Structure 1
């Protein structure tokens, strides 16, 4: 199809392989926005405070989310932590928990309980491989010297937020080589090097792309806290590589949508000493990607004829569901209309304290309706 001339697109409901829905009042505010974005299945991150490290906690969390929004399927994960044992992994598999999320210690929001040394968890990864569970990797090496990250594949280079992802890639390769049958996802790829690494590895390794990394570069988040996330957006060349990967045949279904939508109360993004890392994209997830592809066509880094229905359906749902081995049981569909939507200036709800500012607040975008 000619993407530039399409005014309306009908697609299957999307699968978002990486969401932060928080808990309590924040969850009540943001969880209903999943369907607003054109999504009916999500993979939920476990980095609450305290983190979700037991099967009981995980199932109770899912029940709270289902009570808020019963029309979304929530795939759940545990937080990789020293208290996790092979027995916990077996229990989690029986309970329908899909995977385990790894955060290097201190690298992003609510990650202070994260990993110091991956080799310590080899017995856990071995059991996950046996149980056919997914290992989700926040693929960065911490730059904070107070967190003594240790890994046999890491060299002595100085780490900043700009090279933290490339510095992690040897760890990804090492894990895949050690556990070749373990399904591994490199979350929120932000560099061309990360894409190439994922594509170079076997079929059990995939990567997710966020909606915001398809639009942002360093200059955007350097001047706007609502564009600041971890991993940070990188160069224009990296951004364009992410965009091109969506529609490139070389993708081969290994790269799919995982928005990493991360809500923070607006006072956490402005007004405090430190800016919270996270970009909130949930209510406009599919629309943001279409906007980014259109911008890529205009910059001539994406060819309009390559933005096909097959590639869109693959990126938004088919490839992610295939990797996670899940189906859209309802077979729902959405209709998107160009320039018929507008991003809210702020998300708020009467009776709830949190207020969240969405990505690209106030801007025009595609509308989403359900068939």
Structure 2
């Protein structure tokens, strides 16, 4: 790898920007990570299930930073109908996100069965609206744990693709070798996002550190190696979606269960580059595989192409080892601890 690259501004195709004070604290960090386009998750409280709510949410985001291109989504819910899908497309909504009920933060209103939504998926297929899948089954199912919940979901992914072959589907935040192979086995309408943190984390990391705990959880060295292989051999099938998920420090270290989510927004591109460096050192990736073209594709071009978003018009300069990740970010009355706090990483400068 080189010591610096000039790359197009990144497109982060899976972000949680929250609302209220957390929104005010998090949105100003987007550009710090070299990103100018974000695909915004709808799992607020209450969830974003109407076009009006999505557009109002977008306005709140723009009021904080209007330089970012916010791609808005709806939460798959019983109130979503084929007519809503058609109107959403006209209104500029980019996709609809499916959460299995109860698997992660603010997913209690999620899907129990996909069959009732087949007419919705048919309409999405017709108008070109993307279906985003949180690819896990709930852990209350027999023989399901957080370690195999993603693999258990993959038959559902394949079934949906078989039933709706023209429906554009994104399997979000893939973490397993099984998921990589499942996505590769599907047609060109099925792709996947890979987070920055899953390129480095293993199960032992989050088992002892609440700031590395997310859903889906990081898995084994073999799974991580498969994710890295998917990145360097993507050809557009896999691209960046950080799943950056901020929680106030009180939700991470307070009484009860730690909130699921890793905060990576301020260093989105930097974390990816650091993970690739480390992968080369371990021998998981060959140095010659990490080309400028690969970085341009994974961080920016391939996600934009899949969603039909224009290419970046601004560039970023990323430099090796010039930035230190802060211990926390405090703003608007909240405090969020970023991934790999206190460590040195790459820096980003806008061109």
- TM-score w.r.t. length of structure 2: 0.99
| Counterpart for residue 347 of structure 2 | 367
- Aligned equivalent of 1:345, options 319, 324, 327: 327
- Measure the CA separation in 1 of the matches of 2:247 and 2:284: 32
Distance 2:53 2:6 in 1: 38
Q: CA deviation at 1:197?
A: 0.6
The whole-number CA distance in structure 2 between the counterparts of 1:272 and 1:10 is 45
Partner of 1:124: 120
Alignment partner of 2:49 out of 49, 53, 60: 53
Instruction: Give the superposition deviation at 1:252.
Output: 2.1
CA distance in 2, matches of 1:335, 1:100: 33
Describe the superposition over 1:173-193 as per-residue Cα deviations: whole angstroms up to 9, x where unpaired: 000000000000000000011
Deviation above 3 Å: which 4+ runs of structure 1?
A: none
Q: Does residue 1:160 correspond to 2:145, yes or no?
A: yes
- Within 5 Å, give how 1:290-329 maps onto structure 2: 290-328=273-311
Shift of 1:314: 0.6
2:231 matched residue in structure 1: 246
Structure 2 unpaired stretches of 5+: none
Residue correspondence of structure 1 range 101-116 to structure 2 within 5 A = 101-116=97-112
Gaps spanning 5+ residues in structure 1: where? 146-156
Taking the aligned partners of 1:44 and 1:144, their CA distance within structure 2 comes to: 28
* Partner residue in 2 for 1:152: none
Q: State whether structure 2 residue 32 is matched by structure 1 residue 32.
A: no
Distance 2:214 2:257 in 1: 13
Distance in 2 of aligned mates of 1:118 and 1:127: 14
User: 1:100 & 1:272 partners in 2: Cα distance?
Assistant: 33
**What is aligned with 1:181?**
166
Q: Per-residue CA shift, 1:94-140, capped at 9, x if unaligned?
A: 10001000000000000000000001110110111111000000000
Tell me the distance in 1 between the aligned counterparts of 2:270 and 2:140: 35
Write the distance in 2 (CA, Å) between the matches of 1:243 and 1:172.
21
Q: Distance in 2 between matches of 1:233 and 1:165?
A: 11
- Which residue of structure 1 lines up, in the alignment, with residue 178 of structure 2? 193
Separation of aligned partners in 2, 1:333 and 1:342: 22
Give the one of 216, 219, 226 matched to 2:211: 226
For 2:267, the equivalent position in structure 1 comes to 284
Kindly state the Cα deviation for residue 204 of structure 1 after the two structures are TM-superposed: 0.2
2:334 aligned to 340, 343, 354, which one? Answer: 354
Q: d(CA) in 1 for partners of 2:220 and 2:262? A: 18
CA contact (8 A) 1:340 1:366 kept: yes
* Residues 1:9 and 2:14 aligned together: no
CA drift at 1:241: 1.2
Paired residue for 2:190?
Answer: 205
RMSD over equivalenced CA pairs, Å: 0.8
- Within 2, Cα distance between the matches of 1:172 and 1:265? 33
In the alignment, structure 1 residue 143 sits paired with structure 2 residue 114 = no
CA contact (8 A) 1:106 1:144 kept: no
Distance 2:288 2:176 in 1: 24
